[in-house]
Chains A and B, each alone.
Chain A
């Protein structure tokens, strides 16, 4: 798995994908957080990182599919998938390697935003007046959400034959799982089942974590989503080789 992970990371670095992803994420979130009038925290007047955690998922919804779209689609198109499959790797090693590489890249783009926390903490009145538990919980939530998005991206890439289809499919899946189930649940026909439908989506669990309340059930939800999606990816890839 480490071999695949290294290869993927090198590919991100060589193809400038890494720089573009990290650069665009930081510029985008920086502008929203500090400059744009409607969302910037300076005008808002409260020492909170709400902007990052509420808009972050929507930026990831495009950014992560862009990172993962080539994972399998590109290998299939170039025929290098045959090489990968005939080297002594387990299928799951290949999948995990590609998934982890995508996630690592996202984490690196998220890392510099820790600076925001310290800036805001110092801007608070009195200094340090910031909901640290809430921020920590939100970061954990955002990382777990990135994990689910990355696994959905890998799945889309395994399903699709080319990168564009892979990207669109992944973005759609991310949206459905993030906000889609929440919206579906709000349709006034479900009666009692509406609660359960909402629980399938990511938003319900992400919101709890954002409050700084790290519920075991929510963490299990995110982890099982990742495991299930990657397992499903493995089934898809096995079927394609029949």
Chain B
């Protein structure tokens, strides 16, 4: 089971919300979908779940065109929409029963009990959804998305607005549920992507700017290689700048030296040798995902 987004374009009036995006999300992998607000993340998810139509292009879920056979796709897809809309006047069990019967699940009662246990709603199951806190509502939403054991899971900001404990808890549920499923989920929290995702897709202004495995992303981006260098004494940074290196001053004689052309170590060593600077340590800086995100989505 895979999700193939192919040349997807969505135009609202005169505004292009999605501009010819293509990516694939494979089985057993969690794809993190990142991007600034309004970049087109939710629009992509709404098209993939059959909520709205695309202007051009298509989404194939397990080879099935969402536009041509939406019912079949909806049957195998679990979706948690942004802002997690719920019927607030319903009781937790009543709501899950409604969802289960929508998916035509056979043993509804058993399945509802199972979901309640999975997402940790035992104590709240008899309450009205209106009476639940945000974290618990999010669990109800997650139970809704998982109840029919879908092959495809699409989660739009499932962890927004949760406290740190709830975050860990919900992440655990997602991680647990995602084994053997195809998962796309969007978020603003970078650590979450680092903790959960296998593949990162960053979208900006309706275009994909990054689509890579998370491990490849973190070490190298835009060919910028940065080293953290510590000297025994303070150094004159202009020497490095003259050699074509970018340098920034850290604390206690530490400097970040980077180069876009080639590995900067050679140049650093040459200067160190020439000016006889006592070097204490030198280590490669792993680019954080946050940096990657900022670089790839910054305004020109």
Contact = CB atoms under 8 A, between A and B. Distances in A.
Interface of A: 3, 6-7, 10-11, 14-15, 78-83, 85-90, 241-242
Interface string B77-121: 101010101111110001000110111100000000000000000
A89 B81 contact: no
29 contacts: A3-B98, A3-B101, A3-B102, A6-B98, A7-B87, A10-B90, A11-B89, A78-B85, A78-B87, A79-B81, A80-B86, A80-B87, A81-B85, A82-B85, A83-B81, A83-B85, A83-B144, A85-B50, A85-B51, A86-B50, A86-B79, A87-B74, A87-B102, A87-B103, A88-B71, A88-B103, A89-B102, A241-B51, A241-B52
A7 B50 CA distance: 22
A242 B102 CA distance: 24
B53 A242 contact: yes
Contacts of B71: 88, 90
Chain A contact residues: over half helix, strand or loop, or mixed?
Answer: helix
B89 A15 contact: yes
B75 interface: yes
Nearest to A14: B89
List the 6 shortest-distance A-B pairs measured between CB atoms, nearest first.
A79-B85, A88-B74, A87-B102, A80-B85, A86-B49, A88-B75
Given A3-B101, A242-B53, A86 B77 contact: yes
A136 to B, nearest CB: 37
Interface of B: 46, 49-53, 71, 74-75, 77, 79, 81, 83, 85-90, 94, 98-99, 101-104, 144
Given A14-B89, A80-B87, A82-B46, 8 more contacts: A3-B101, A6-B98, A7-B87, A11-B89, A81-B85, A83-B86, A85-B51, A87-B74
Nearest to B91: A14
A224 to B, nearest CB: 28
Nearest to A4: B102
Contacts of B79: 86
Contact of A82 (B51, B53, B75, B104): B51
A242 B52 contact: yes
Nearest to B144: A83
Nearest to A87: B102
B289 to A, nearest CB: 29
Identify the interface centre among B87, B90, B99, B101: most chain A CB within 10 Å of its CB: B87
Contact of B74 (A10, A14, A79, A86): A86
